[in-house]
Each structure stands twice: as structure tokens, then as C-alpha cells.
Structure 1
């Protein structure tokens, strides 16, 4: 009998409320992520996607329920230590614009905004170069981050997030504001990453099915803080499920592992 993949994250009956207004942001969420799974997290603005990603990233705690990440339950672990083992990529991350791409990747080893040069030995520096090469942007090593294109920045930030060799990689709208060539370069990079690192689990927040790489294995749909559907991507990314999630008629098609969603007029 095959051994089931190791559980990377488990969320059980989780709710999150905004304390000042008692607004429900997440309501009764149950979800698990296993090693080697690649999840898409979809829903309209305000559905709770970013909050759910923060729970997985150990940057906030639930109001009720339990969150376990990498075998550690939030509330019973030093979250600073836990965060060091979780890769997190967001276009809103603070990055010194004048730092070279190689320096930005190096800071992933210390989890700092500014480089801590005394902490980086030769092996760490070589690892940063290797990750830039893996993301096919080694030519950016000496280029200031601030003059890199949006797509180049996204790949550099992914390389940075991989420095501590995480088991879980969280991608918060990594395709934001990318043009078509940059989007396709990033999709291809994520596809290769999934193939080259079979134990890595990823969760990607996006608004567009067209941004999902062919390696996407699972999807979770959120609406107003509640799960609408969750499971294997072919079972979840259907016109019926997407229509329920977004509240308007949506037609979904797929071809060679890529997805397309379009909305018709309301009847």
C-alpha cells in the first residue's frame, strides 16, 4: 500500500473575526494541504483569501478552531521560528530597491529586509546563485532589484523564499500587474519548480484561472469567508462551482493543463 503524502498544513473549524467590529472574515474553514500538492486559492475580493494565507504563514492566529503548520499548532509554538521554514512571496514585500538580485535572495537565509553579511558563508552565497539559476534568472544576479521587470522581481522573490528550503511555499498574487510574456515566464518557472521539487507544497492566491500553471493539482474556492468547494482541480474548477463562488454565470474550459474562465451576462 502506498504511504499517503505527509500533511503540511491542517485547518480545522477555523473562524476569524475582526475584534473591533465583530465582522466574520472566515467561518468554519476545514482544509488540509499535503506535501507535493499545489493549491490555487480563488474568490472575489474580500472573500478571505489573504486572511487564510496569513494563517498558513503563521502571521496571525484564528479566533476559534485550530491551525497546524509543519506539524506545529499555532498558539503552542514560537511562530518566529516556524516562519523561518515557510516560504512567502508577495509583491508587497519590503525589498531594498538598490540591492542586487543576488543580495535580495541572500536575505532569504536570514529572513531579514537588509542583508546580514556576517551570516552568509560561501555555501550560502553559492546557494543563492543556484536558486537564481533554477528560476532561470541568473543573469540578474548583479542587477539592482529596483530596475528589474515585474516578472523578474517575482522570480527573484521566489528564489529568496526558497533559501531556507521550505516545505510550504505561499504565493500571494504573484502575477499582479505582469504583462503577458512575464506572466508566461512565471507560469513556466512554477511548473518547473513543481517538477524539480516533488515534496514542496504550494498555495497560490490569484484572481484569474489563466494564471494557474499546469502543475496546479488542487483548488479551494472561497465566498464571504466560507468554503464553496475544495479538492482536485478538475473537480473544483467547473462552471457550476465558479458560478456559485462568484455569483454570476461563469464558463470554464481547460486545454493541456491550462484554464480559462469567462463570464456571460446575467439572465
Structure 2
């Protein structure tokens, strides 16, 4: 539907967008990302014919966008700006009906039944049909944005261009609007080009991402390829973390505050905080700890203040060289550390605990999980030293649990 080749343009002789090329096919949702001043809005104006290119071309349905008459282009392409002011007290239905203007003929340009049906369908698709006779000015910002999305859909476009459509919307309205747009790409084959500031929203909804920096575009990529930590840090000039999701290859991006690490160690008396009540053992701390778990319902890294598990037949809890280890009769192992661990350190201690438990059980399979917890304060732990303590402590606690253990 859209083919952009070596597109360049700007204002007053100043080039803002330079040599951008990409395509967007039928039913494809393409997000444009980049910092302020990277050329996103200028590129959108070049794509929609609001700005003439200095070089290259943007083809829509095989024709240069500048070669269409306004009403011709409006039948193929609709544009939803970041926010639209409504100066007059038109009703919702009247506002949506303006989307049928390119199709109306004659001196008075009145709508026929076909137009009425399309307007009603557009309102139903965007969930605003119940507001049909209300003034647009009486609606909330999120509801109003859906009205203008319905107006754009009433044009029955093949291409929909969005300029930061979720700015100023709360989370529910953001999700509602993006869910509607995404559904239309699947059900109607609508091609969508949208500018985003929210990296995570773009990553979750877009099929492809076009990353921009200083007026130039990186090659179009899928979200899992484009939203790499190194790429984001290069484009935006900030430190971020990329968090993998269990249900999707698309990462979640979080920016990191200026480093103010706690270098003073915080000693938490883990052993005294472990409580057994009935058949359940719990640990609750005031400070959150990072943990790596083998649990099938939540493996991987996470943060928490609480651990819980089954301890029907008792619990062993001992401290070995500042590493606290708790083992239940079901051979669940908690390794509790007040210091700071790297991700590699977490993995090494998890492996050490698993191997020590296996040896203590003479190769028998254990039912319980292994959890490594660290407060991430103070200096980095001496991992080899901690690893030796974990091996020795896990083996001793598992053997004690096998021998009957200590009831707590």
C-alpha cells in the first residue's frame, strides 16, 4: 500500500528528513519511533501529502501522494492527529458524518442510506454509538479521540495515519483505541502508520517499527529486533533495561534513573523473619529483594518482599558465612543474601544449590523449588565465596531435613 523511496524534506531550505525508505503492506501496523527532533512528524507530513518532498517519493496505492486530488486521497488515506479541537457544538454523529464528505455529490452533499449505515458502523466499532446525539464538546478527551477515530474510519480508508494517538489518554482509553486499530488491521486489512512516544505500546501493537534518529531511519524491523537495549540507548541517549516477557518475544523497555546505588550494606536477619504457621512457611521483609526462581509458574528474575511455601513436616534454617539457607521437608531451598549479586552470580548460586541438593539426596529427584534472593545493597558479593557457602549450607540443611529436621 505504501512505498517510500529515498524520501527527503524539510522547511525553508532546512532538511529535516533525509533519505528515508520503507514499505507498509496491506494489514500491516507500522510504528515510527524516535526522540523529539528526530523527524517523525515531518516524515508523517511527507507521507500524507501535507509537505512536498525535496527528494524521493512516497507512493500510496502505486501513485505519488502528491498526485492525488484532496478528495481522491481522502478515499484512500485518513489521518488522525494527536489531538483535534472541536470549535463547534456538533453532535457525535454529525462529527463522524464529516468522514463521508469525500463521497458525497451534488450541490447540497446530503448523506444517503449507504452513508448512514457506514457512519453507524464506524460509531459501533469505536464504541461511541451511545453518544450519537451528544455534543462532542461534552465528552472526555478519550471519548473525543474515539469520535475522531470513527470519523477517520467513516472515510473507509485503506491507509490510516496516526500522530501519537494516545497522548493525553489514560491507560484504559489508550488500550481501547489501540485494540480497535489493531483489530481493523486484522479484520479489514487496514494499513496503519503511527507515530509513538511510548516504546512499550508500539512494541506490543505494531508489526514493524521504524526507528528514527537525526532525520534518518534505521531499517524497518519487528519489535523484538528493534527494541534492543543497545539500539534504544544509542537513539535516545539514555540508559534503559529490556525485560523479556514470558508470553511474547516483544521486550518491555524501562528507563533507568541516575545511578544512586546504596553502598552501605543492609543486614537483614532473615532467619528471624521466617515464620511457620500450620503447613505454610513465609518470609516477609520491609525491603524488596531480587530473586531468581525455578518455580514453573514464575521462573526467572523478579522483585518481591515475600516468599511462601509448604512446610508441613518442618523447616531447617541456618546461616553459613552470612548466607542464610532454609530447606523444607519437601526440599524447597531458599538462599537468602543481604548483599549485591550480578545476574551471573544468581545463576551460579542457583546451579550450586541444585547440585548440592541433588548430591545430598543421592541423585533422587526433589519436589521443591530453589529460590535465590538478594537485597542488592552494599558491595558486590564475592561469588566464589558465596558459592562455596551455598554448596556447603544446602547440603547440610537437606541432610538435616532428611534426618527429621527441626520443627519451627
**C-alpha distance in structure 2 between counterparts of 1:139 and 1:79, whole Å:** 32
Matching residue within 250, 255, 276 for 1:263: 255
The answer to whether the 8 A contact 2:82-2:165 is kept is: yes
Secondary structure, counterpart of 1:58 in structure 2: coil
Tell me how far 1:75 sits from its aligned partner: 4.5
The answer to whether the 8 A contact 2:209-2:220 is kept is: yes
Residues 1:171 and 2:162 aligned together: yes
Aligned position for 1:5: none
The answer to whether the 8 A contact 1:151-1:185 is kept is: no
Displaced runs of 4 or more, over 6 A: none
The answer to whether the 8 A contact 1:150-1:182 is kept is: no
Answer with 239-248 or 98-107: which moved more.
239-248
Tell me how far 1:24 sits from its aligned partner: 2.1
Residues 1:158 and 2:149 aligned together: yes
Q: Deviations over 1:218-261 (max 9, x none)?
A: 00011110113422222112222212211222223354457632
Higher relative contact order (CA 8 A, sep 6+): 1
Aligned position for 1:227: 217
TM-score, normalised relative to structure 1: 0.86
Tell me how far 1:153 sits from its aligned partner: 1.4
Aligned position for 1:9: 2
Matching residue within 185, 188, 193 for 1:194: 185
Residues 1:18 and 2:8 aligned together: no
Residues 1:248 and 2:241 aligned together: no
Residues 1:28 and 2:28 aligned together: no
Tell me how far 1:265 sits from its aligned partner: 4.9
Unmatched runs of 5 consecutive residues or more in structure 1: 1-7
Q: Deviations over 1:188-222 (max 9, x none)?
A: 2223223322x211011110123337441000011
Unmatched runs of 5 consecutive residues or more in structure 2: 260-408
RMSD (Å) for aligned C-alpha atoms: 2.4
- Count how many residue pairs are aligned between Structure 1 and Structure 2: 254
Tell me how far 1:79 sits from its aligned partner: 4.7
**C-alpha distance in structure 2 between counterparts of 1:111 and 1:95, whole Å:** 20
Secondary structure, counterpart of 2:50 in structure 1: coil
TM-score, normalised relative to structure 2: 0.58
Secondary structure, counterpart of 1:170 in structure 2: strand
